[in-house]
Amino acid sequence: MREPSLHTRQSGVGIDLASLIALRQEAGRLQIAPRGKVLATRSGGHLSRFRGRGMEFDESRVYQPGDDPRNMDWRVTARSTVAHVKLFREERERPVWLLVDIGPGMRFGTRVAFKSVVAAQAAALLAWAAVDKGDRVGGVVFNEQRRVEYRPAAHTRSLLPLLNGLTELTAARDGPVPLPAPRSGFGSLPAAAAHLVNLVRPGSLVFLISDFAGLGSGDGAWMARLAAGSEMVLVQVYDALEASAPPAGRYPVTDGSGRFVVDTADSGLRRHWAERFGDHAAMLQQLCLRYQAHLISLRTDQAVGEVLREGLRPHGRRSGGIR
């Protein structure tokens, strides 16, 4: 039996700043792969390399055979009528971005904690691990009402405000949440991700933490843009009840406005329940394969640090990993 992790000692519906700060010690066991390391993926056998530290534009020069056409400097080329490419200077610190979904679908859980709480813990662990490796951390945390946004900064200049934003947006509330004016949140993960692509610079490492419930196979435009210059890791947070129906019985449920009964003794319902979750998981895997992203699945009743540590373990050192 594993020792209780920090998240088992929380209320499960919210988390405080002190708890997220305390995760720094556990974060030391995570391996945020440095440049040149290979990260194994859970999304069906695809392997890719982290693209290294951030790259800052240095100068343009005349195109030479073998240069990457993606680095063409079209403005200088048009002005001079001679093909030029952009040269980049490597930054010492890699930008690490966290996009954390705390929307309505994440404020749910039947075992141990809400998905939103688990997402906050995962984000804090990844952020601390990145800072301790010398990377610059920033992020966007959002729900349907508001968002907090911090550009990557060295040490803990943006990390502590980001953790505070996680606690504020994850906090459990009694009654309806008042609408701020003006409204600054995002109604869906694709909307938040479309905003993120305008912030992320080439060479970044991007973690997207969500249940990805609203993501469809046609939502790949923003993934393609991120994949063009950055490394992506999708952390799927889900509840056991989403993966399979509860034991046969009649269960009263509510969506907040009405009440109805779900009869899980129906074999057809149970089969559809499992197939729907499996189809969505397969769709996520296909998107990750297509856009060279990595996928880590995290159930709410699992130890967050253990799952992340296994999911981030470099290829060749990971037990049970893809060879």
Does the pLDDT value for residue 181 go beyond 90? no
Considering the domain boundaries, does residue 323 fall inside one? no
Say whether both 66 and 121 belong to one domain: no
Across 300-320, average pLDDT? 78
Q: Give the number of domains in the chain.
A: 2
Note the pLDDT of residue 52.
Answer: 45
| pLDDT tier, 212 (very low <50, low <70, confident <90, very high otherwise) | very high
Q: What percent of the chain has pLDDT over 90?
A: 50
Say whether both 60 and 148 belong to one domain: no
Domain stops at, among 41, 65, 89: 89
Q: Is 265 exposed, middle or buried (0-12, 13-18, 19+ CB in 10 A)?
A: exposed
Higher pLDDT, 174 or 224: 224
CA distance 210 to 181: 26
Note the pLDDT of residue 93.
Answer: 67
Does the pLDDT value for residue 175 go beyond 70? no
- Contact assessment for residue 38 and residue 315, using Cβ atoms and an 8 Å cutoff: yes
Considering the domain boundaries, does residue 12 fall inside one? yes
Considering the domain boundaries, does residue 321 fall inside one? no
Across 46-75, average pLDDT? 69
Does the pLDDT value for residue 98 go beyond 90? yes
Tokens 């249940």 locate to 211
The b-or-e profile of 230-255 (16+ CB within 10 A means b, else e) is bbbbbbbbbbeebbebeeeeeeeeee
Report CA dihedral (315, 299, 141, 312) to the nearest 10 degrees: -10
Structure tokens at 136: 């610059």
CA distance 321 to 317: 8
Note the pLDDT of residue 128.
Answer: 95
Considering the domain boundaries, does residue 318 fall inside one? no
Considering the domain boundaries, does residue 139 fall inside one? yes
CA distance 124 to 121: 5
Strands in the chain per DSSP E = 38-40, 47-49, 55-62, 84-90, 95-101, 136-142, 147-153, 205-210, 231-238, 250-254, 259-263, 294-299
Considering the domain boundaries, does residue 320 fall inside one? no
Residues with Cβ within 8 Å of 114's Cβ and at least 6 positions away in sequence, in order, are: 12, 13, 14, 106, 107, 108, 170, 300
Considering the domain boundaries, does residue 221 fall inside one? yes
CA distance 109 to 214: 17
Residues with Cβ within 8 Å of 323's Cβ and at least 6 positions away in sequence, in order, are: none
| pLDDT tier, 313 (very low <50, low <70, confident <90, very high otherwise) | confident
Does the pLDDT value for residue 305 go beyond 90? yes
Of 80-89, 120-129, 158-167, 226-235, the least confident: 80-89
Span 140-160, pLDDT tens digits: 999 999 999 999 988 788 899
Of 6-10, 69-73, 126-130, 206-210, the least confident: 6-10
The b-or-e profile of 94-118 (16+ CB within 10 A means b, else e) is bbbbbbbbbbebbbbbeebbbbbbb
Note the pLDDT of residue 119.
Answer: 97
Note the pLDDT of residue 173.
Answer: 56
Say whether both 305 and 164 belong to one domain: yes
Across 169-174, average pLDDT? 70
Say whether both 72 and 212 belong to one domain: no
Note the pLDDT of residue 41.
Answer: 37
| pLDDT tier, 94 (very low <50, low <70, confident <90, very high otherwise) | confident
| pLDDT tier, 183 (very low <50, low <70, confident <90, very high otherwise) | low
Say whether both 119 and 255 belong to one domain: yes
Considering the domain boundaries, does residue 1 fall inside one? no
Across 8-36, average pLDDT? 79
Phi, psi of 123 (to 5 degrees): -60, -45
Say whether both 72 and 206 belong to one domain: no
Q: How many CA atoms lie within 13 A of 30 on its CB side?
A: 25
Say whether both 79 and 208 belong to one domain: no
CA distance 10 to 177: 22
Domain holding 174: CATH number?
Answer: 3.40.50.410
DSSP state of 23: T
Say whether both 11 and 96 belong to one domain: yes
Mean pLDDT score of the chain, rounded to an integer?
82
Tokens 């253990």 locate to 306
| pLDDT tier, 61 (very low <50, low <70, confident <90, very high otherwise) | confident
| Parent domain of 78 | 56-89
